[in-house]
Amino acid sequence: MATIAVIGTLDSKGREHAFVADLIRKRGHTALLIDLGTGAEPQITPDITRFEVAQSAGLDLHPLIDQQDRGECVVAMSKAAPVLLAQLVAEEKIQGVISLGGGGGTALGTAAMRALPIGFPKLMVSTLASGNTAHYLGTKDITMMPSIVDVAGLNSISKVIFSRAAGAICGMVETEIDTQENKPLIVASMFGNTTDCINIATNVLEDAGYEVLIFHATGTGGKTMESLIESGMVSGVLDITTTEWADELTGATLSAGPTRMDAMSHARVPAVVSPGCLDMANFGERDTVPEKFADRLFYIHNPQVTLMRTNAEECAELGKVIAQKANANPAPTAILNPLKTVSVISAEGQPFYDAEADQALFSAIHQHAKVEVIDYDEEINSEVFAKAAAHKLLELIEAHQS
Per-residue pLDDT reduced to its tens digit, 114-164: 999 889 999 999 999 988 898 899 889 999 999 999 999 999 999 999 999
- The three-point CA angle 50-53-56 to 5° equals 150
Dihedral (C-alpha) 361, 365, 368, 370: value to the nearest 10 degrees?
180
Q: Nearest CA to 96 among 35, 178, 172?
A: 172
Burial class of 329 by CB neighbour count within 10 A (0 to 12, 13 to 18, 19+): buried
CA–CA separation, 216 and 220 (whole Å): 8
SS3 state at 282: strand
Instruction: Give whole-number Cα distances, 154 to 38, 157, 158, in Å.
Output: 22, 8, 6
The pLDDT score that the predictor gives to residue 179 is: 65
The pLDDT score that the predictor gives to residue 149 is: 95
The pLDDT score that the predictor gives to residue 340 is: 97
Q: Which residues of the chain register pLDDT less than 70?
A: 179-180
Alpha-carbon dihedral sign for residues 205, 209, 215, 216: positive
Residues carrying CATH 3.40.50.12020, the chain:
3-174
**DSSP 8-state symbol, 292:** G
The CATH class of the 185-401 domain is alpha beta
CB 43 within 8 A of CB 15: yes
Residues carrying CATH 3.40.50.12030, the chain:
185-401
Burial class of 248 by CB neighbour count within 10 A (0 to 12, 13 to 18, 19+): buried
The pLDDT score that the predictor gives to residue 180 is: 64
The pLDDT score that the predictor gives to residue 83 is: 97
Which CATH number among 1.10.287.10, 3.40.50.12020, 3.30.70.60, 3.40.640.10 corresponds to the domain 3-174? 3.40.50.12020
CA–CA separation, 191 and 95 (whole Å): 36
The pLDDT score that the predictor gives to residue 379 is: 98
**DSSP 8-state symbol, 92:** T
210 Rama sector, left if φ>0, alpha if ψ -120 to 50, beta otherwise: beta
